[in-house]
Amino acid sequence: MELLTLALPKGRPLAPTVALLERAGLASPRLREAERSLVTVDPDLGLRYVLARPADVPTYVEHGAADLGIVGKDVLLEARPLVYELLDLGYLRCRLVVAGPAGADPDRLLGSGVHRRVATKFPRVAEAYFRSRGLPVEVIPLAGSVEVAPQVGLADLIVDIVETGRTLRENGLVPLATIAESTARLIANRASYRLKGDRLAAIVQALREVTRHAAAAP
């Protein structure tokens, strides 16, 4: 059987992703042990798993190095890859928000006529959000720990992911506006979708079944 390649997000999203694949009968037993070896092959399932940084998953899929990928909608909104988004998998739920210092006047921070600097791992999302509101903005791209920026005067606001809200709170920040809700998505390479349609459809169906049941659970 020809191998299908699945790009999976490593780090925090990996454990719930492997759990989902297990429920769908799509996880190799080797995957649990293989968190350090970044490529795992399961000939019985006909699957090869590539563990990638979440932000790199769309790149593997867009270029056809992976037929399918699992990645957060937040990453897709930023990367805007040329891929097909096949399924909302419903987990890795979080929000992309604008946040600023607790106690600061939100009308001033988000008002017009203010020069505001926004630190973020999501420069395109931030740029588009403020531009669509006619608010001038200087976006300061960072690779992580964005919550530090307002505390040391690097930025007035941040655009970042909020899951539990704990990181914002612990850094004296509050959410001011929601840009988008995000959940994990199944994406496909466009050529794979045409050329390997039957095999992809079987995987989509298996994942749809388990995510539907999860959505129906109390």
Which residues of the chain form contacts with ligand PRP (CB under 6 A)? 144-147, 160-167
Tokens 């004296």 belong to 172
Give the shortest CB-170-to-ligand PRP separation in angstroms: 8
Name which of 104 and 161 has its Cβ closer to ligand PRP.
161
Give the shortest CB-121-to-ligand PRP separation in angstroms: 6
Give the shortest CB-145-to-ligand PRP separation in angstroms: 5
Name which of 22 and 35 has its Cβ closer to ligand PRP.
35
Q: Where are the beta strands (DSSP E) in the chain?
A: 4-9, 39-42, 47-52, 68-72, 84-88, 94-101, 116-120, 137-141, 157-162, 173-182, 184-188
How many CA atoms lie less than 13 Å away from 167 in the CB half-sphere? 16
Residue nearest to ligand PRP (CB): 144
CA dist., res. 148 & res. 131, Å (int)? 24
Give the shortest CB-10-to-ligand PRP separation in angstroms: 12
99 in Cβ contact with 158 (< 8 Å): yes
Give the shortest CB-14-to-ligand PRP separation in angstroms: 12
Closest CA to 67 of 4, 1, 3: 4
Name which of 35 and 42 has its Cβ closer to ligand PRP.
35
Name which of 145 and 178 has its Cβ closer to ligand PRP.
145
Supply φ then ψ for residue 176, to 5 degrees.
Answer: -110, -30
Going by their DSSP bridges, the two strands 184-188 and 137-141 should be labelled as unpaired
Name which of 76 and 200 has its Cβ closer to ligand PRP.
76
